[in-house]
Amino acid sequence: MNTIRTQVIKIGNSRGVRIPKPFIDQAKLGTEVEIAVQRGAIVIRPVVLPRRGWAEQFRKMAENGDDQLLDPSVSTKWDRSEWVW
Q: How many alpha carbons fall within 13 Å on the CB side of residue 44?
A: 14
Region of 37 please: left (phi>0), alpha (psi -120 to 50) or beta: beta
Mean pLDDT value across the chain: 91
Answer yes or no: is 26 within a domain: yes
Q: Is 82 domain-assigned? A: no
Do the domain assignments include residue 76? no
Instruction: With H, G, I as helix, E, B as strand and everything else as coil, classify residue 73.
Output: coil
- Domain presence at residue 20: yes
* pLDDT band at residue 1 using 50, 70 and 90 as cut-offs: low
pLDDT value at position 82? 87
Please answer whether residues 35 and 19 qualify as being in contact, where contact means their C-beta atoms are separated by less than 8 angstroms: no
> Is there a contact between 47 and 36 (Cβ–Cβ < 8 Å)?
no
Q: Are strands 41-46 and 9-11 parallel, antiparallel or unpaired?
A: unpaired
Q: Which CATH number goes with the domain that contains 27?
A: 2.10.260
pLDDT (0 to 100) of residue 19: 93
The per-residue pLDDT for range 19-37, each reduced to its tens digit, is 999 999 999 999 999 999 9
Domains contained in the chain, number? 1
How confident is the model over 34-66, as pLDDT tens digits? 999 999 999 999 998 889 899 999 999 999 998
Q: What is the mean pLDDT of residues 65-85?
A: 87
